[in-house]
Chains A and B, each alone.
Chain A
Amino acid sequence: MPVRSFFAAVLFFAIAGNARADGLDAPAGALSCSGCHPASASVQTPAPRIVGRNADDIVTALLAFKSGKAPGTVMDRVAKGFTDDEIRAIASWYAARKDQAQ
């Protein structure tokens, strides 16, 4: 995993250079989340924004959904599709995207 991440990062910057390339380094599954969780605060939805949110908070919420400890509408069913490592990777990636929060 770290080896693959390293090459993914090298590839990402080989492609992006110093341009404003954004999102190619998303871990598996992360690109789907924005279908429901908006980047922009101006979007009206009960679904919380996850861009720029604390990674530990995202992990805690997802693990609680996954274990059934937290009641969910959809997220209980979605979280069960990811390993704990995958959940941590997705959470870290969204947490780091503070500049995407609008």
Chain B
Amino acid sequence: MSKDIRLDRRTFIGTAAAGLSVASLSRPALAQGSAGRVVVIGGGFGGASCARALKSFNPALSVVMVEASKTFTACPFSNLVIAGLRDLKQQEFGYDNLAKTGVEIAFTTATGVDAEAKRVTLADGTTLNYDRLVLSPGVDIRWDGLPGYNEAAAAIMPHAWKAGEQTLLLRRQLEAMDDGGVVVISSPANPFRCPPGPYERASLIAYYLKTKKPKSKLIILDAKDVFSKQRLFQNAWKALYGDMVEWVSLSNGGKVTSVDPAAMTLTTDFSTYKAAVANVIPPQKAGHIAELAGAADRSGWCPIDPVTFESKLRPGIHVVGDASVAGAMPKSAFSANAQAKVCAAAVVTMLANGKPPEPRLINTCYSVVAPDYGITVAGVYKPTNGLLADIDGAGGTSPLDAPADFRAQEARLADGWFNTITAEVFG
């Protein structure tokens, strides 16, 4: 196959060089020597990956990325920071290398999107016109989603679901806690960022408690009856931490219905739990700009076309990463990165009036339950009936009965994955 294509490519370049305009295939912008302008909002795993891929796929494209923070703090592996096993600095990445690829970066907040006029408004009132817009705003906390929990409460009962100061706050609280204290984690109903995250966090906090404060206890109050990699986590808890970790499912009354930060209590339908340290992982929704752009539906998330990631609500706007409704794909950094590259290819192709081919996407989520004990869930996805669906027979979790060296190898691969994906996106 490749031989034929190479020949065709040479022929085509030759023709183009001889004066037959490439614009015969495409839109007026191309004829003017510009391939078009794409604005990307959000500089996380989705947005930064997309901006870089857009520029790589078509260097003539003008790509502007809008991101409020000059330093990105990665959520994957931040549970290791909470457990004292990693420095927050190792989670931080800048955008200098992304800028070197030709992506323009506007370090500010996007405050509005006019989908009709194809225009983004920034915090200082300036506007950016676009031919296509990519939103990768991640998640926002639903501050009205759990009675008693608001921004002030988060300073006492940290969510630590956006890495940074919240991560360090939870770590400091654990360090200050007396041996014998009760740590309570509240885990939300689906969907939310990083489905295995609350359970990885529980594992690593248990590791910290076991090694530093062995008389302590950890309770997970859950708004679900099933969760990601459940058997693997539960087996590991029993094997590594004995009775230290208690999981209370939805049907056992685990759903937290209100919190009281002054009393340090979390209330469920059946009882009230007093915590020495409370980690409230609250309900979430797509980042606010998605709502402002009209790309979020009543669920708070953004339905998308599974081939192009174009919004089903707002033509010309694409949504990738945690904010999107990506069917079977979980809200993970790996998913966001994979989606961003497929979306970038689709955007470049659509700007040239081409038809994007049907993609395949992969996700792999590593969870570390102890420093030498990693577990994974993987999936392969294709567009099916308007959603990204699992390809039957592929994917699944690590084996339940794997030996210790398999778990150790997955822990090493987890580390390698973090190095690889952050090098691709920010390196």
Contact = CB atoms under 8 A, between A and B. Distances in A.
Contact of A20 (B59, B338, B352, B357): B59
Nearest to A2: B1
B359 interface: yes
A34 interface: yes
A46 B413 contact: yes
Interface of chain B, helix or strand or loop or mixed? helix
A77 B419 contact: no
Given A14-B22, A78-B378, 4 more contacts: A6-B5, A16-B57, A44-B419, A46-B416
A28 B417 CA distance: 21
Given A34-B424, A81-B360, A22 B9 contact: no
A28 B57 contact: no
Contacts of B8: 6, 9-10
A22 B58 CA distance: 7
B398 to A, nearest CB: 7
A73 B8 CA distance: 40
Given A11-B352, A15-B348, A21 B56 contact: yes
A44 B230 CA distance: 29
Nearest to A29: B360
B362 interface: yes
B393 interface: yes
A27 to B, nearest CB: 9
Interface of B: 1-2, 4-5, 8-9, 12-13, 16-17, 22, 25-26, 35, 53, 56-60, 334, 337-338, 341-342, 345, 348-349, 352, 354, 357-364, 376, 378-381, 391, 393-396, 398, 406, 409-410, 412-413, 415-417, 419-421, 423-424, 427
A24 B5 contact: no
Contact of B1 (A5, A29, A39, A81): A5
A74 to B, nearest CB: 5
A4 B272 CA distance: 62
A73 B410 contact: yes
Interface residues of A, number: 54
Interface of chain A, helix or strand or loop or mixed? loop
B420 A43 contact: yes
Contacts of B393: 80-81
A22 B57 contact: yes
25 contacts: A2-B1, A5-B4, A10-B8, A11-B352, A13-B16, A14-B25, A15-B60, A15-B348, A18-B17, A21-B56, A21-B59, A32-B360, A35-B362, A35-B424, A39-B424, A43-B416, A43-B420, A45-B415, A45-B420, A73-B406, A73-B413, A81-B380, A81-B381, A81-B393, A96-B2
